[in-house]
Amino acid sequence: MNIIMFFLVGLLVHVVFFISIFDIYFTSPLVHGMTPQHVPLPPPAKRLVLFVADGLRADSLFKPDINGTSRAPYIRSIIKERGTWGVSHTRVPTESRPGHVALIAGFYEDVSAVAKGWKENPVEFDSVFNESRHTWCWGSPDILPMFAKGATGDHVYTYTYPAAMEDFASTDASKLDTWVFDEVKAFMNSARGNQTLLSKLHEEKNVFFLHLLGLDTNGHAHRPMSKEYLENIGLVDEGVAEMVSVFEEFYGYDGKTAYVFTADHGMTNWGSHGASHPSETLTPLVAWGAGLQTAQRASTTQNYNDDYLKDWGLETYRRVDVNQADIAPLMSSLIGVPIPLNSVGVLPLQYLNNSLHFKAESMYANAIQILEQFKVKVTQKKETTLSFLFTPYQVLTDSKQMEFVRHTRELIQKGQFQDAIRHCETLIAQALEGLSYYHTYDRFFLGSSVVLGFIGWTSYVVLVILKTHASLRKPPTSRDMVSGRGFQRVFIGVGLVVSFFLLLQSSPFTYYIYCLLPVPVWYFVFKEFGILVNLIKSIPSLPLSKCFGYFLLVTFGIELLVVSFFYRAMLTLGLIILGLWPFVSGLYRKAKSRSVSWVLSCLCLAVFPLLPVVGRESNINYVLCAGALTLFISCCYLCSSYGRTGLHMRDRRLFIGQMLQVLLCVYVLASTHSSLQMKQGLPLFSQLVSWATLGSSFFVPLLSSTRLFHRLLSILLSLICVYLVLSTGYEALFPPVLSWLMFVWINMEQEAVDTQNVSSRTELYSIDFAENIDLTRIRQLRLDDIRRSYFFVFFIIIAFFGTGNIASINSFDPASVYCFLTVFNPFIMGGLLMWKVLIPFIIVMCTFESIQVSTRLSSRSLFLIVLVISDLMALHFFFLVKDYGSWLDIGTSISHYVIVMSMTIFLMLLSVMTHILTSKRILIGQKMKMHFKNHEPQHHKQLHLNRKHKQLFPL
């Protein structure tokens, strides 16, 4: 396999592994083809009014203020007298769309929506609105259309304000709610003069849906503890009271209207939602009117394990909690329409004020409706699985289902309603469990074939490393060739069997890819069988205990990196362990001061992962410190290197220029900051300097000498200039500290190489990036190179998580680009922030490049080791992909997987870039070019004199 082929195959393998998670984890649970279930008894209500206060927390509504008066007096009076109340427990992600889907369609939105964008309908689904005769909706253009679009026929009417009004309402979001209330009043008034509308309104099974977005908007803008949010609750309460009187008056107080008041999700104290904090998942539910139980006194202490009842002053009123999806069957039962076909809700009987007979029949309909979904799912699975491989869900076989139907009907006929209800509840629980059993049926099979492919690929890479870069090479014998042909036949056979098997199961085409990919991958692994044999043969000559030690260390190290994706603080631990390296490896005895420097820099860097990322205050003083530190470091370096190698006049001028630039950048940042604080806007001078710094950072390093440390210093100075103007706080200190550690690392690696063979000692200071690497001097891989590559991966991850998290770039402070622009421009801002994120990577990559040059290793073999390390990490993240949780959790778990898998490609691109940055040089003027081709220190001194001489007599 040549290198391009290898690259393409690797890319293909990774792309397939990535796509596979969508078939394994994110598949729609919805099935189609069920029959709607009707309750044979008349419903208690003719119409239903549903209020959804978007983003209303349970405690914000229920808890009285400090004086003990309620913010929502009308709703509280209902809780105390006319209705039933409780907490509706929502599921993550606590977002508007999934919340409304659970409320109105009764199922928890499938996560496949993640991949398909959640504003559109990923699938057609049934809802209470769809089952109703007519539904009128008022509210936000983000929510209403999805229920109208999903409905069959046109019996769902939506009235939305223009999207621009949501912006317009930014001064006072409660206007969104007032709009809804006013529209409903106007609508009901207009109906009196419109005969067709009037007759529609007087039909049965009608739904009115009032979506109140004001609270959500106010909560995001001002947080839930604010005056705005709390006053908005009062406004909603008044509005609900007014709406009830409007409806009651319109229908002549016929007592046939049911009211449900709830929320789609809550909100955290800092004004966000999406995750699983109780403030987000606990929402209020209050229901009253036709068919609903009036307030009940709680005779004994209520069975809820939280302290809310006391907090809310509602201990004596019976509380009935529900899951959010249970509200859909409740609403269906009230107006007598079939429960939405995909609903997984269970009818909350305690809310109903009706005969036991009605309750039993409703519960039976609920059970059959869920059983229908189960049956469809079983049929689907049976069709796509070979009969002898099919393992059915044992709890709910066909005969057990039939037995259930017979027995429950019998109980209802005999009037044993309580027994019948209990029976139905058991069946619902079993059917729901069965549904999830079949939903995840293929997961194990697909998962293991993907993992098999992954392991095969990684083993192949390991074999390639051994074959080309380690000293195990041995010419292939003719016997190997023969068995190679045999292998080929065996693997083609296996491939055919797998395809035939999938064909029989009529699997989707993607399954073929996942299952067939491991076959060629493993074929190549077995083709390299000879290497494995050689490896086994050479085992006695290998330092076994050392190998084993390395294996343990690297395994532990990879685990540590995986955990650090979840807990940044793990990197601190990693850095402290790394600090011990000179003592473990015995380098301390050889280079005492360098080892101490190594430990100190590790400890300094270890502080950064402990510092917070989000919500910190900007502090310019840190940036000033960082500027001073950079200048101090470069001065120290220049002084120490001056004695050793001498510094060309040209370089000296460049360095002084660059150090002045650092000063200028610090000044620009400080002045911009103070001018913005005084609201004087961004000074043009600052803006010009910032952009000039950014632009020059790409080519100024190319002007400097290609001497290892000279070039590195020049790169560092120009990168730090950019970083400084993009910083607002402590993160400005990160690149200087990181580069200190990197500087020590280069020195330590040199020592480590010297320990192994003294003969090839090269003075670090005399190494030149531009020198052509002598291919004969490239050495074989050693065990130590695994450690080197691991260090590299570790530092890359430090660069990644050191000051923040690249995966949540939106958590970056926009204040950090204020030196460049103050008007909001997502593209430029994003670009600048990306560049800021990249800078630490470039520092690490340049260091790695230096180490490759100084230890004479081929970058290809090192990248292969990095590939193995990152693939092993990706395998971890494959198992950690989440299909449950907030969008953020799900998104993060996917992004971890993607980040780790694409790490190698990213690093390869970065390496090309740093190679140019380190080894290319722009020379201005023909004469000087000649001089810089010499690199002997003595020559340099002479040239130095020559140049001084020349300057005296300029040409």
Q: Interface residues with Zn ion (CB under 5 A)?
A: 54-55, 96, 216, 264
Which residues are CB-neighbours of 88 under 8 A, at least 6 positions away? 58, 262, 263, 282, 283, 284, 285, 321, 322, 323, 324, 326, 327
Nearer to Zn ion, 54 or 442 (CB): 54
With respect to Zn ion, which residue has the nearer C-beta, 93 or 729? 93
Q: Cβ closer to Zn ion: 216 or 321?
A: 216
Per DSSP, what are the bridge partners of residue 53? 212
Find the helix or strand (DSSP H, E) in which 863 lies: helix 859-879
Rounded-to-integer distance, Cα 612 and Cα 441, Å: 41
Q: Which residue's CB comes closest to Zn ion?
A: 96
Angstrom distance (rounded) from CA 480 to CA 490? 15
Nearer to Zn ion, 144 or 435 (CB): 144
Q: What sections of 106-173 are H helices per DSSP?
A: 113-116, 128-131, 144-150, 163-168
User: Nearer to Zn ion by C-beta: 96 or 564?
Assistant: 96
State the minimum distance, in angstroms, from the CB of residue 71 to Zn ion: 20
Residue (219 or 736) nearer to Zn ion, CB: 219
Nearer to Zn ion, 216 or 372 (CB): 216
Q: What are the φ and ψ backbone dihedral angles of 700, each rounded to 5 degrees? A: -55, -45
Q: Which amino acid is at 591?
A: A
For the bound state, the minimum distance from the C-beta of residue 768 to Zn ion, rounded and expressed in Å, comes to 58
Question: Minimum distance between the CB of residue 464 and Zn ion, rounded to whole angstroms?
Answer: 51
Helix boundaries (H) for 84-173: 96-105, 113-116, 128-131, 144-150, 163-168
What is the enclosing helix (H) or strand (E) of 50?
strand 47-53
Shortest spacing between CB 76 and Zn ion, in angstroms: 23
Q: Is the peptide bond before 612 cis (omega within 30 degrees of 0)?
A: no
Q: How far is the CB of 12 from Zn ion (least distance, A)?
A: 40
Q: Name residue 319's beta-bridge partners.
A: 85
CA distance to 2, 622, 665, per residue, from 628 (Å): 50, 10, 11
Nearer to Zn ion, 88 or 96 (CB): 96
Shortest Cβ distance from residue 220 to Zn ion (Å)?
6
Burial of residue 862 (number of CB atoms within 10 Å: 0-12, 13-18, 19+): buried
Is 83 strand, coil or helix?
strand
In what helix (H) or strand (E) does residue 209 lie, and over which residues does it extend?
A: strand 206-212
Of residues 103 and 602, the one with the C-beta less far from Zn ion: 103
Give 224 or 434: the residue with its C-beta nearer to Zn ion.
224
Q: Which is nearer to Zn ion, 264 or 731 (CB)?
A: 264
Q: Which C-beta is closer to Zn ion: that of 54 or that of 651?
A: 54
Nearest-angstrom CA–CA distance, 745 and 605: 13
Euclidean distance between the first and final Cα of the chain, in Å? 57
> C-beta of 126: minimal distance to Zn ion in Å?
22
Instruction: Tell me the sheet residues that pair with 352.
Output: 292
- How far apart are CB 337 and Zn ion at their closest, in Å? 25
> Which of 263, 665 has the CB closer to Zn ion?
263
Q: What's the maximum distance between 2 C-alpha atoms anywhere in the chain? A: 119
Q: How far is the CB of 377 from Zn ion (least distance, A)?
A: 30
**910, containing H or E segment:** helix 887-919
Work out how close the CB of 686 gets to Zn ion at its nearest, in angstroms, rounded to a whole number: 36
Residue 300 CB-density burial (10 A; 0-12 exposed, 13-18 middle, 19+ buried): exposed
Cα–Cα distance for residue pair 16/1, rounded to 1 Å: 20
Work out how close the CB of 216 gets to Zn ion at its nearest, in angstroms, rounded to a whole number: 4
Q: Residue 475 corresponds to which tokens in the numbers above?
A: 């010419």
Closest approach, Cβ 130 to Zn ion, in A, equals: 21
| Smallest distance from Zn ion to CB 211, Å | 9
- The Cα 410–Cα 405 span in angstroms is 9
State the amino acid at position 188 in one-letter form. Answer: M
d(CA 647, CA 640): 11
Nearest to 450, CA basis, from 521, 387, 382, 508:
521
